[in-house]
Every structure is written in C-alpha cells, then in structure tokens.
Structure 1
C-alpha cells in the first residue's frame, strides 16, 4: 500500500495565483496512487497557518510523512511551525526546499534552520546549487530530487533563424528584476528596430504598474499579457525566439526549464542555481546579474550566429529530457518507500 502523505504549502492556484509545487506535485502524487492530504488554500495567512496545523494534527496518527514546501522569505515561518509540530507529534517530515535565497536564510537564522533541517527525515533539494550550499553548512539528511516537467505538455519548435522576439515569463516582483527586460529591449532597438518583448505573469509586489510606466517612459512597446495558464503561454511562446531571465537570485526555475523544452534560445542572469542548471555557451548564454549590456550582446550573438544558437537549443532540449516527471517520480518513490 502506498504511503499516506500530508502535503503542506501555499495551495493558492484556486484563487488565481500561479500554481506552486503543492498544486502540481500533490496532483501527480494522487495519480501515482498516494493518499494525499494537501493544505492550505486559505487566503488569509493566519488562517492558512492554522489550517496547516489543524490538518497535521488531524492526520497525525495515520500520516506516514509530512512534506513541507520550504521557502526563504515570509513563508519560511510556516515551515518552522509545521516542522516543530511534527517533532512534537513524532511524525516524519520532509522539507522540500525552494528559493535561491535559502543560503542567506541559513546565515541569518542558523539556529532556527537547524531546528528544521537537522530533525527532518530527509531534506529534499531540487538543485545542485542548493545541495552545494546546504552541504557547505553541514546540513544532514540531504537528498537531491530535481524539479520536473511533464514534457508531453510542451511542443518543441525548431527555430532555423532567431529573430529579436523576446519572451519573459515570471511574476512581476523586484527580485526577478523585470525592468531589466525593458532596458534590454530598449538597447536592442538601436540595432533591431523590429525588436519585440512579451512579458507574461501576474503582479506580486506592485512591480506590474512600475514596469508598465517604465516601458512607457523608455518608449519601449511591450506586450503585457498578465497571468496566463500554462497552455496559453506555451502556445504563445511559438511566436518568440529568445527567452530572457533577469532574476537577481534563483534556484532551479521551472520557467527556464520550460523554455528549454519549447526550443527557445535561453539568455539568463548567472545567479543562484542557474550555473548548476545551464552552462554558458553550451546550452544557454549566461550574463552577470543586472548586466544589461552583457545580455544585449549575448542576444546579438544568438541572433547573428544561428548555427551556434541551434547547438545550444538542442543541447538544452536534451538536458531537460532528464527532468521529465516519468523519470523524477521514481526518485520520490524511493524516498517514500525506503
């Protein structure tokens, strides 16, 4: 019989938020036959934490594991509360580590982090970057299980020529540095007057209005779509050739993996877990954080050296094949059945 799993995280896609890991992974676990209890979808943060706690207590005698989506910012605190509740109730818990800024959390709150991570059954790490950082901090019980895609949901498009059609996909938030995308498009206009920029994603911290005003000030024509479903944005991606990621820090971004699966040329800032996912000039172009000129030059090379771009696109597509759910699910099975 499959193990019973209580999955704790921000299950907020039902309220129009972008789906997070708990939204996607809990459903896939159900498809694999695992009894899953997921919490919480409460809008209010206080009510959400209370619901998480109540769910763990309610199922404490029957749950085999509690999986906790663990982030570096405000959501770190529910991970702390739920993990310590699991300790009191003597339930095996598994933090699933997200967020490229978790290493800073280890430094800021070492005692609290050790309360979570040193008492867990396993600490699941999706990227080699976080694995490296946690090992350097002597965190035990580490197990790397990469982020995944359901590759049958993505259509690879062969791009024999690359045009200055840029796609940016992320929530509008300062940490993802969306204004940089506008600056890049503005600079490219000098060489490619037909440059296009499409920015897809919901507002997270007020950056949406700021970027729209910034684009108007810079006289850059940007297509703002707002939040789209996965099917909608991946279909729209066929109209574009270059995927740009402008984040200040990152872990193992699914949006970049999706771009690799779709056959887009990837140009990204070389931050956090990116150099552990991609190799410069092999399967992507990597530039320094906030380096507008560097990203512009990289895009120029991609456009004007189509053979080189094709090699990178193919290499990226081959790499992402190893991240298909059909392969990754085997690693979760080993964890749960060990």
Structure 2
C-alpha cells in the first residue's frame, strides 16, 4: 500500500470552503492509498510548522503531494518541497489559482528549479498548462478537477424564472457585489426577482453586502457557508447560476452547477472559457460588465429554448469531470 503525505489548507472546519485536500483525500483513500493530510491549523505560522514537521517525521512515505496557490500560501509549497529535497522524498505539486503565472514570473530561478525538480506539476486545466509553458516545467501533467457525478441530480431547466444562485466565497477576487448590481437592474423589469448567495465570508464583505441589499430592497438570501449537500438542496429552487469572479482557473462550483442542470452565466476570466463555451453550454460576459451580465440573464429569461439547451449541454460537459474517469489519471500518476 503506497503511503502519501498530502500538504494543504484543511480549513473547512474553521468555516473555509473545502479545497482539494478535503475532496481528493477520501477519494484516493477509497482506492487503497494510505494518506495523512495536514494541516488544519488556522494560524498560518502553526500551519507551516505542521507541514514542515510532518515532512520531517514522516520520511518513510512514498510521496508528498503539495497543494500550491498563487497567494501568500505559495510559500508553504516552496518550503515544504525544499524540506522534501533535504530528505530525498519524492514530491508533486498540485497547482491552483488563476494568478500562478504572475507568481512564477516574480520567482527566482532557484524557486522555479524546485518546481522543475518535482516528480510532477499537476494542472487542473489546459488554460493553466498553456500559461505555465514558458517556465519550462517539463513534468506538467493535466488532471482536471473532479466531482462525484452521482451526488448531483440533474434537473432540466426547460424554462427559467428570475431566481439566481451564486456559490463562492465572499472575497474581492470573486466580486460578489456584482450580483447585487445586476439585481438592481433586473428588478426594474422583473420586480419578483430573487437570489441566493452561498459561501464563507473571507474578507468581511458578507456583512457589508447584507446591508446594501437591505438598503436597496433586494430579495437576496445570504446563506453563508453550507455543506455541499445543503447547497445542492437549495439549488433545486433556483434556475440560473451566476459566477462573477475576476480571477479564476477551473472552478468546481461551475462544474457542479452544470451537473445540476443550472444554466450558467459567468465572467470569461482565466480558465473559464476552457470550460464554458459561450452560447453552447453557458453564457460568458466580460468581468465587471454589469450591463452585459444583465442582458445575458434577460436573454435566458426570454428564451426558454436556449435555457433548456444550456441546461442539457452543461450536464454533458460536467460528465467529463466525473471521478470515475478522472481517477484513472490519478492512479496512473501515483502508481
């Protein structure tokens, strides 16, 4: 049985959204891998020490998997991999975040060499793979984000009502205030419009947006953080999925929405156009373009044939990310 140490941010118990370490660990365990995953310390210094200490204490593992982000958490990955090198422990990076290209562009040759010397650099999208080619990571492996499709009951939207669902963390990079701006415009034509916003509060904007919503008389339910099963249940009563992000890679929330049959209207940033084809399985607009997103939603409300087509074809797209298919790629990589 192969022993793996998985390093990442396990912050779901502190109210954070689940990340790859939360979702991938149980899936690989079910296929026979013995995996220790760390760290769930909320304090960043303690989390780093836990990661480095685990590399030291678990030197008998066959492999270390390291979640890698473009934020300040990038340094967890660099230092953990450096510790692996000291003990000759093989390691792979699992690269996340639509802004990693900029992070690598500002990194020294020594840091880039740490990634070049990894057993693999796993990228979840062809977008990120294309962006990182210039850094000559010859060991890049495409392994898409996955979902367990059986958990997502498909509901075909043959026509849609002005009921909008937004699922993301409340953070400036996801631009949640854009939904409120769109709601204001749409309420002039659809006074019955309502929305639901689901996700943890990362930067304090949740409270601010609640106040704005009340001041403008918008019908928005703010659910905060919900479990996956809880927000899937909530989704049954909504008809259009809205994604307002400014920076992104291949968001699992979009894949999940498509699996559920929700027509998607999203900004076209990062790797999203690699996932959503405009007019085919979703509608895309420019970031911050409130007018275009308003028109896209109105187009769905006035065109039930388009809504049904996006619902059906979105599900077909989501099926490509089913774990039963993606796991074969992981088993090949891990051996």
TM > 0.5 fold call: yes
- Structure 1 unaligned segments of length 5 or more: list them: none
For 1:301 and 1:311, the matched residues in 2 are separated by 13
How far the C-alpha of 1:236 sits from its partner, in A, is 0.6
How far the C-alpha of 1:110 sits from its partner, in A, is 4.6
How far the C-alpha of 1:120 sits from its partner, in A, is 0.6
Q: Following superposition of structure 1 onto structure 2, how do residues 123-142 of structure 1 map, counting pairs within 5 Å?
A: 123-142=121-140
Which residue does the alignment assign to 2:252? 254
**8 Å CA contact 1:145, 1:328 repeated in 2:** yes
Q: Which has the higher mean CA deviation after the structures are superposed, 83-92 or 177-186?
A: 83-92
Q: Following superposition of structure 1 onto structure 2, how do residues 104-123 of structure 1 map, counting pairs within 5 Å?
A: 104-111=102-109, 113-123=111-121
For 1:113 and 1:297, the matched residues in 2 are separated by 45
For 2:83 and 2:333, the matched residues in 1 are separated by 22
- With over 3 angstroms needed to count, the CA separation of the structure-2 counterparts of 1:286 and 1:112, relative to structure 1, is farther
- With over 3 angstroms needed to count, the CA separation of the structure-2 counterparts of 1:307 and 1:110, relative to structure 1, is farther
For 1:294 and 1:101, the matched residues in 2 are separated by 24
Q: Following superposition of structure 1 onto structure 2, how do residues 313-328 of structure 1 map, counting pairs within 5 Å?
A: 313-328=311-326
- With over 3 angstroms needed to count, the CA separation of the structure-2 counterparts of 1:242 and 1:94, relative to structure 1, is same
Which residue does the alignment assign to 1:17? 16
**8 Å CA contact 2:194, 2:218 repeated in 1:** no
Which residue does the alignment assign to 1:191? 189
How far the C-alpha of 1:221 sits from its partner, in A, is 2.2
- With over 3 angstroms needed to count, the CA separation of the structure-2 counterparts of 1:129 and 1:112, relative to structure 1, is farther
- Please identify runs of 4+ aligned residues in structure 1 that moved more than 6 A: none
Which residue does the alignment assign to 2:266? 268
Secondary structure, aligned partner of 1:239: coil
Whether 1:4 and 2:3 are equivalent positions in the alignment is yes
For 1:164 and 1:109, the matched residues in 2 are separated by 46
Which residue does the alignment assign to 2:45? 46
Which residue does the alignment assign to 2:34? 35
- Structure 2 unaligned segments of length 5 or more: list them: none
How far the C-alpha of 1:113 sits from its partner, in A, is 4.5
**8 Å CA contact 1:154, 1:258 repeated in 2:** yes
Secondary structure, aligned partner of 1:234: helix
For 2:242 and 2:134, the matched residues in 1 are separated by 30
Q: Structure 2 length normalisation: TM-score?
A: 0.97
**8 Å CA contact 1:80, 1:112 repeated in 2:** no
Matched residue count: 335
For 2:114 and 2:251, the matched residues in 1 are separated by 24
**8 Å CA contact 1:246, 1:289 repeated in 2:** yes
CA-based RMSD of the aligned residues comes to: 1.2
How far the C-alpha of 1:28 sits from its partner, in A, is 1.1
**8 Å CA contact 1:198, 1:223 repeated in 2:** yes
Which residue does the alignment assign to 1:59? 58
**8 Å CA contact 1:117, 1:140 repeated in 2:** no
Deviations 1:25-48 (CA, angstroms, capped at 9, x unpaired): 111111111010111112221111
